[in-house]
Structure 1
Amino acid sequence: MSTLKPTVSETDHIQGGNSASIEIVEFGDYQCPYCGNAYPIVKEIEETFGDQIKFVFRNFPLQEAHQFAFRAALSAESAGLQGKFWEMHDALYENQYRLADDLFEELAETIGLDLEKFKTDSASDAVKEKVENDFESGIRSGVNGTPSFYVNGTKFDGGATDLYQMLKESTE
């Protein structure tokens, strides 16, 4: 059975209740169509369960399959340095159908980032390292495709819809 390595820490992007009893970690790729389909379901999970869950996103860009996945991950992390990781995360999934080189700055502008800082950060080693560390943690945790979900540290066998179903059953 695959477990999450390393465990969730302050280097992660976390949404939801800090004292939540259910911790969900998604390894995702912004260009992956399956992640794109999972995105609204994850949103619904967050709305339904609120502070009962803590949601964490880690980057797992499948660069060989998805030309813009790594750039998208860098963009989300760069937005994170300006306190807007989740805004960029959402914007990337909501505009997934038009991912291209010129989209990242457009989204940065839309969500109100300092563009110069965004450009500098997107090209920085620190941001690249954060994405690579996330990817590495996915490899160590047994991720073999995206999206992969971990619930309370253990790999969940199924997609977002299955996850939603399981949560509904376990919280009834």
Structure 2
Amino acid sequence: SYCKRVVNILEQVLDRYPDKVKLAFRDFPIVNIHPQAEKAAEAAHCAGEQGKFWEFHDLLFDKQDTIPTTNFVDHAKTLGLEVSTFQTCLDGRKYQEKVERNYAAGVKAGVSGTPAFFINGRLLSGAQPLEAFKAVIDEELERLGLQAQR
């Protein structure tokens, strides 16, 4: 997927700009393409309660071809989560509103697909190469009077 493709690029961006770039993640489940996307996002937040958000997120990406038939509890077991706590969180839809708010905020900001990135308010859409990120980041750093990475 495009989202999976950009992970390596993001790691390079964070390595290149360690004190100037911060990554903030927001859910944007596109359910017409991935019917289980909203539930998967909620499951990741439930895993986050046990300190395993990113591990669960990464596992979902690794297993995304099986998501329509995935039992998220199996992923929780794989990661060593306390399953009953995870299951209670997921069944109670504890993070449904948060996921829906993130999605609505993305739509309002002009996001129509994933991956999408905002760099100091500027939308960069799609799985862009490192050079595209560098160009926008360096322009923004220069505009702010900060040292760009050359």
Q: TM-score range by the shorter chain?
A: 0.7 to 0.9
Q: Rg larger in 1 or in 2?
A: 2
Give the structure 2 partner of residue 171 of structure 1.
149
1:96 maps to what in 2?
64
Distance 1:140 1:94, change over 3 A: same
1:150 aligns with 2:118: yes
Look up the match of 1:114. Answer: 82
Q: In 2 relative to 1, CA 85–97 (structure 1 residues): closer, same or farther, beyond 3 Å?
A: same
Q: Contact 1:42 / 1:160 at 8 angstroms: preserved in 2?
A: no
* Structure 1 or 2: more strand by fraction: 1
**1:108-131 Cα shifts (integer Å, max 9, x gaps):** 122221111111111224311111
How far does residue 75 in structure 1 lie from its aligned partner after superposition?
1.2
TM-score (norm 2): 0.78
1:136 paired to 2:104: yes
Superposition pairs for residues 1-172 of structure 1, below 5 Å? 33-157=1-125, 159-161=127-129, 162-166=131-135, 167=137, 170-172=148-150
- Give the 3-state SS of the residue equivalent to 1:66 in structure 2: coil
> Whose helix fraction is larger, Structure 1's or Structure 2's?
2
1:61–1:69 CA contact under 8 A, matched in 2:
yes
Count of equivalent residues: 140
Secondary structure, in 3 states, of the residue corresponding to 1:58? coil
Letter in 1 for 2:24: V
The verdict on how the C-alpha distance between 1:101 and 1:48 changes in structure 2, with shifts beyond 3 A counting, is farther
User: Is the 1:149–1:155 contact (alpha carbons within 8 Å) kept by the matching residues of 2?
Assistant: yes
Structure with greater contact order relative to length (CA < 8 Å, sep ≥ 6): 1
Structure 1 105/46 Cα, relative in aligned 2: closer, same or farther at 3 Å? farther
Query: Contact 2:42–2:90 (CA<8 Å) still a contact in 1?
Result: yes
Could you tell me which amino acid in structure 1 is paired with residue 49 of structure 2? Answer: L
Per-residue Cα deviation, 1:126-166 (whole angstroms, up to 9, x for no partner): 31111101101111111111111101222125533154442
What stretches of structure 1 of length at least 5 have no aligned partner? 1-32
Give distance in 2, aligned partners of 1:127 and 1:148: 21
Equivalent-residue separation in structure 2 for 1:108 and 1:35 (angstroms): 22
If the length of structure 1 is used for normalisation, what is the TM-score? 0.70
The one-letter code sitting in structure 2 at the alignment partner of 1:80 is G
